C-alpha cells in the first residue's frame, strides 16, 4: 500500500546504509521501483507487456521495472542509490529523498487523488462534531495531511482532535469496532468502509484537488547525464496512457490486467480510477505542472512536514529544502534545491518529439 510518510525515514535510510544516489554517469542500464496503487499499476503493465522494452530498445538502453511490496521501502532504496527512479507522492518525495539530500526530479506527473482519500465518520457528524474525538489514520501519511487540511478549512486545528496511529492493514477492522467513530484512509479501504451501515464521508481529496500528487521521480544527476533514460520512461508511460484510456476492447484488456495485478477486477479498478485524476494526455500534465497553484500546494506540504518534524533530518526552517518549478520559480533555499518539477520530457511527449 502506498502513501505512508515516516518520521523515521532518515533513520531508516541510515539503517540500510545510505551510500548516496545512483552514480551520475553515462550508462545504458537503469532500474526504477514502483508499488501497488491505482495510479501506478501502469508501471507493472509496461514491464509485462513489453512496452517498456520497446522504448528502451529505441534508445539503446535497458530499463528494469521492479515492484516493491513496501512503499516506503521502495523510496528508501531509491534514496540509498539502489534505483534510478521510484513511484512516490509529492509529499513523500519532499520528506524522504529530497529531505535526505538526494536531488530528485519529478519526471512524470501521473495523477492526483480526486476522492481516493477520505475522512469517514459514523453518524451524522461534521468536523465541528469531532472536537476531542480520537481519529484513526496512518500517522504522517497523506491521510494525516488530508485531515490537517480539512481541519484548517473548518477553522480547527490538530490540537482539537487526537490521532490514533493505525496501519492500513488494520483500518477496516478498527473502524468496524464500536470504539472507533472516525477515520481517514484511502481506496480501496474507503470503498470497503463506506459499505458499512451509518458511515458518512465528510471530506475527501476532491476538496483539495491537485494536492496529493502521484509521480515518477528520478535522480536529477542521472537524468542530466542520461536524457535517453527520461525519454524512454516518458515514451513508454504515455503509450500506456493512450492504450488504457477509453472503452475499446484493447483499453479494457489493459485495465483488466492492471486490475488483476492489484487484486481486484475491472469494475473495481475503474471505480478507483473514477476518484483519481489521471493525466492521460501529456499536455494536461504539463499544464498542471506549470500552474502556479502547484507552488501553493508544495508550500502547504512543506509546512505540514516541517510542523511534524519530517522535512529532512534536522531541518531548522521550512525553507531548508529548496524546490524548483517551471519558469525559474522556487521555494526555500535556492542554494539547496533538492526537488524539481521539470515538465520538459512530458512536453516532448505532448509535441510528439520522443
Q: Which residue has the higher pLDDT, 29 or 9?
A: 29
Per-residue pLDDT tens digits for 51-93: 999 999 999 999 999 999 888 899 999 999 999 999 999 999 9
Per-residue pLDDT tens digits for 160-202: 999 999 998 899 999 999 999 999 998 889 999 999 999 999 9
**Integer Cα distance of 343 and 109 in angstroms:** 8
Over residues 293-304, the mean pLDDT reads: 97
Query: Which three-class secondary structure state does DSSP give residue 277?
Result: strand
Per-residue pLDDT tens digits for 321-350: 999 999 999 999 999 999 999 999 999 999
Exposure string (b/e) for 109-122, b if CB count within 10 Å is 16 or more?
Answer: bbbbbbbbbbbbbb
Per-residue pLDDT tens digits for 310-321: 998 789 999 999
Q: pLDDT class for 293, splitting at 50, 70, 90? A: very high
CB of 118 closer than 8 Å to CB of 269: no
Per-residue pLDDT tens digits for 223-242: 999 999 999 999 999 999 99
Q: Which domains does the chain have, with CATH numbers?
A: 9-112+212-350 (3.40.190.10), 117-207 (3.40.190.10)
Q: pLDDT class for 24, splitting at 50, 70, 90? A: low
How does DSSP assign 13-42, residue by residue?
Answer: HHHH----SSP-S--SEEEEEE---GGGHH
Amino acid at each position: 500500500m502506498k502513501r505512508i510518510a515516516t518520521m523515521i525515514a532518515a533513520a531508516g535510510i541510515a539503517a540500510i546504509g545510505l551510500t548516496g544516489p545512483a552514480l551520475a554517469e553515462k550508462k545504458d542500464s537503469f532500474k526504477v521501483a514502483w508499488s501497488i496503487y491505482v495510479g501506478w499499476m501502469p508501471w507493472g503493465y509496461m514491464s509485462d507487456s513489453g512496452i517498456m522494452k520497446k522504448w528502451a530498445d529505441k534508445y539503446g538502453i535497458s530499463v528494469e521495472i521492479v515492484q516493491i511490496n513496501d512503499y516506503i521501502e521502495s523510496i528508501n532504496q531509491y534514496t540509498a542509490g539502489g534505483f534510478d527512479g521510484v513511484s512516490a507522492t509529492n509529499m513523500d518525495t519532499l520528506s524522504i529523498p529530497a529531505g535526505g539530500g538526494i536531488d530528485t526530479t519529478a519526471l512524470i506527473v501521473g495523477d492526483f487523488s480526486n476522492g481516493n482519500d477520505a475522512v469517514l465518520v459514523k453518524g451524522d457528524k461534521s468536523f465541528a462534531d469531532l472536537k476531542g474525538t480520537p481519529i484513526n489514520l496512518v500517522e504522517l501519511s497523506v491521510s494525516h495531511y488530508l485531515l490537517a487540511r480539512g481541519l484548517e478549512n473548518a477553522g480547527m486545528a490538530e490540537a482539537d482532535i487526537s490521532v490514533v496511529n493505525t496501519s492500513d492493514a488494520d483500518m477496516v477492522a478498527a473502524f468496524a469496532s464500536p470504539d472507533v467513530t472516525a477515520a481517514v484512509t484511502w481506496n480501496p479501504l474507503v470503498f470497503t468502509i463506506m459499505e458499512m451501515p451509518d458511515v458518512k464521508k465528510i471530506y475527501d481529496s476532491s476538496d483539495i484537488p491537485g494536492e496529493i500528487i502521484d509521480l515518477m521521480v528520478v535522480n536529477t544527476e542521472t537524468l542530466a547525464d542520461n536524457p535517453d533514460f527520461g525519454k524512454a520512461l516518458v515514451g513508454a508511460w504515455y503509450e500506456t496512457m493512450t492504450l488504457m484510456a477509453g472503452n475499446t476492447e484493447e483499453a479494457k484488456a489493459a485495465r483488466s490486467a492492471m486490475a488483476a495485478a492489484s487484486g481486484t477486477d475491472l469494475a473495481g479498478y475503474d471505480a478507483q480510477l473514477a476518484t483519481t485524476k489521471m493525466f492521460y494526455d501529456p499536455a494536461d500534465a504539463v499544464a498542471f505542472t506549470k500552474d502556479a497553484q502547484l507552488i501553493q500546494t508544495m508550500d502547504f506540504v512543506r509546512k505540514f512536514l516541517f510542523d511534524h518534524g519530517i522535512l529532512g533530518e534536522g531541518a531548522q526552517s521550512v525553507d531548508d529544502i529548496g524546490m524548483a518549478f517551471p519558469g525559474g520559480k522556487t521555494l526555500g533555499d535556492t542554494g539547496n534545491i533538492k526537488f524539481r518539477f521539470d515538465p520538459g520530457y512530458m512536453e516532448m511527449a505532448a509535441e510528439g518529439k520522443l
